[in-house]
A and B are shown apart, each in its own frame.
Chain A
Amino acid sequence: MNWAWFHRLGSPPHIYRIAGTLTPWFAWLAGLLIIVALYSGLVLAPPDYQQGDGFRILYVHAPSAWLAVMIYGVMASAAAIGLIWRMKIGHAVAASCAGVGAWFTVVSLVTGMLWGKPMWGTYWVWDPRLTAQLILLFLYLGYLGLRAGFDDLSRADRASAVLAIVGFINIPVIRYSVEWWNSIHQAPSVMKMARPSMPIDMLAPLLMMLLGFTLYFAAVLLVRLRAEILRRERTASWIREVLR
């Protein structure tokens, strides 16, 4: 088997070029999907029989919540690849992920709070999912803080990689413990609305939105990755040729 393609993934100029080619594809596709999903979600989909038009914030809330968790997974995997196979690109990907992931976590929290106000009558309830998402934000902040604490890039890379892996192992434990915590503490009242299976004209925009957001993340990740590579390789000779 020919492994050349795999080894080329470790080469910064190669990744830099590929990322540059792929970015517009992801970005345009993401933009298209998000516009179509917005139209069908905000205009075409019928209002919810219980929540009226309020449920439409779902189309931003759910995709960002999904991305917040997924990006942590991508970050931990990339960090593990960087740590185990000593691939610098892995660390560069992980470093580019963290900021985006933290922001999507903030977006999901804020939209969740805005949604909570009309539905539950308050901006914040100690609902397990909200709480777990808040802890996820602190995990991201810890990761970013640890990276910022080192002057030496290679040590920052590897120390934060260990932290990302430890956090990744802990995320399911935290999620389930938070779920049990609240289910033992207080009777589930607000969150246990009878949840009908979603009709297709509500579900389809959501799925499009999920895909659109994921592609948007991919595009942003690639742009940030290119910037990260430029920063890391600023003394390399290939940079001068690329930027001429």
Chain B
Amino acid sequence: MSAQRTSTMTAVWLVLQRDLRLATRRPAQLIQPLAFFAVVTLLFPLGYTPELSKLRAVAPGVLWVGALLASMLALESLFREDAGDGTLEQFVVSGQPLVALMGAKTAAHWLLTGLPLTLMAPVLAIALGVSVAAMPGILLSLAIGTVSLSLLGAVGAGLTLGVRRGGVLLALLTLPLAVPVLIFGAKATELAIAGESLTGPLYLLGALAVLGVTLAPIAAAAAVRIGLE
């Protein structure tokens, strides 16, 4: 029995590739969170005021809450189909560390939702009256912050795997845990719009992301194991 053993790095790479390829076959799933983000953001000028100076003041909060909800919406699809067709079970029995595979799935989720949401944000920011000078700061803070959101979301999605109609519950579990990301992300965006240095909140966002990368895949793997039984 000396079957050729796939190295963990290869397995991680294969899972990442698979998720990305599957997503390109189903572009609707990719576009829906983006459309949601746009619709939520554009509701504010309609519901609050079309005055750009007032919108600029609430832009950080609007952008971050919108991104948070949009990435939450995309979490449902993270594990559900893979649990349904037995892929996750194959992950568990594959002999590869489940933690690494969860990391790969989370990375794919970030590439498919976190990154597009980040790239979309400047367009929406302009619609809220934010000047172009603030864009690098907005891009950077969202790029780092959405990493933490994907990681937290993976834990929540894993935990609600065994729950029927777990969508609302998933949001209830994940949103309170995402409060620090929201606070520092919105602060960084606010500083970027004001034209000030945003290194402070960016460092804190980075620290949260590092904490998440270290611990979240472990929790997600434990959650998926429990959810699959």
Please give the residue numbers on chain A whose beta carbons come within 8 Å of chain B beta carbons, in ascending order.
135, 138-139, 141-142, 145-146, 149-150, 152, 155, 158-159, 162-163, 165-167, 169-170, 173-174, 177-178, 180-181, 184
B176 touches A139 (CB 8 A): yes
* Closest A residue to B225 using CB positions: A158
- A-B CB contacts (within 8 Å), total count: 73
Q: How far is the CA of A162 from the CA of B159 in the complex (A)?
A: 8
A162 to B208, CA, bound (A): 19
Cβ of B37 under 8 Å from chain A: no
Which residues in A have their C-beta under 8 angstroms from that of B162? 149-150, 152, 155, 159
Question: What are the 9 closest A-B residue pairs judged by CB atoms, nearest first?
Answer: A149-B163, A177-B180, A138-B176, A142-B173, A181-B183, A158-B226, A177-B183, A142-B172, A159-B226
Q: Is the CB of B159 within 8 A of A146?
A: yes
How big is the B interface, by class? Answer: 20 to 34
> Is there contact, CB below 8 Å, between B183 and A178?
yes
Nearest B residue to A136 by beta-carbon distance? B176
15 contacts between A and B (CB under 8 A): A135-B176, A146-B173, A149-B166, A150-B162, A155-B226, A155-B229, A158-B226, A159-B159, A159-B226, A162-B219, A162-B226, A163-B159, A166-B219, A174-B180, A177-B180
Taken together as a complex, chains A and B put the C-alpha atoms of A80 and B37 apart, in Å, by 37
Instruction: Say yes or no for B14: interface residue by CB 8 A criterion.
Output: no
Closest to B229 in A: A155
Does B177 lie at the interface of the complex (its beta carbon under 8 Å from any beta carbon of A)? yes
Q: Which residues of A contact B179 (CB under 8 A)?
A: 135, 174, 177-178
Residues 206-229 of chain B, each 1 if its beta carbon lies under 8 Å from chain A, else 0: 001001000100010011001101
| Cα distance A135–B155 in the bound complex, in angstroms | 18
Most B-side CB within 10 Å, residue of A142, A174, A178: A142
- Which interface residue of B155, B215, B222 has the most chain A CB atoms within 10 A? B222
Task: Check: B5 CB closer than 8 A to any chain A CB.
Answer: no
Q: Please judge, given known A-B contacts A138-B172, A146-B169, A146-B173, whether A166 and B155 are in contact too, CB under 8 Å.
A: yes
A174 cross-chain contacts in B, Cβ below 8 A: 176-177, 179-180
